[in-house]
Structure 1
């Protein structure tokens, strides 16, 4: 092979010093780009969460209004029942009968709710178990 012609400039081959600084520049740019990308992704996530929270808030408001409408329905039906019974036993006794029916319903719901509440565990048992497994693996990763 022939040696390169001394008449041509050697600009195509950068010195080693420039390689190192350009590699550093590339790494710096990569870090900056990665940081910018993460910030943008975080902003997108925040925007999506805000949008979903707004939807959830509106849905919760509608559910609350539905609950109030159901409450009003129960009150008005209770009045209708009391006035209907009033034709048979008098208004005082009719309202007492309706109140006792509501008391029985309330007691049954309270009892059912209380028994279900007793079965609720405040500790996240499965998470605790998996964390224990993770700690054990971290201590002995080859097992």
Structure 2
């Protein structure tokens, strides 16, 4: 075992126990703090924009699925309803055949609409990570101001 020197700050690295700029006045330090907080808030706002964009994208996909379900239901009703109703009309009276087919397509459309609604309700536009970060930053700034 060598009895070498105890490891300290790396050569050329600033000593963390010494002030970075001891000649700055309190006014300059507060101005610097204000600038730093402003930069931090700007960064947090950018993070919030990214989070909100992700949630809006999820909502758009849900809305697209809901719209697609509605269009598919409409097309299916138009084309298949007539064929199915006329096929049933060979077994039961015409009005009853058309009623049965209409009820089947109404049930399908309702299922698609409920699934799309569920997707839309599952989105959360609140940027939770950004809110938590801003709260931590606020607490840190308040702590720093109370020390100064």
TM-score of the two chains, using structure 2 as the length reference:
0.44
Q: Which has the higher contact order (CA 8 A, sep 6+)?
A: 2
Structure showing the higher helix proportion among its residues? 1
TM-score of the two chains, using structure 1 as the length reference:
0.45
Rg: which structure is higher? 1
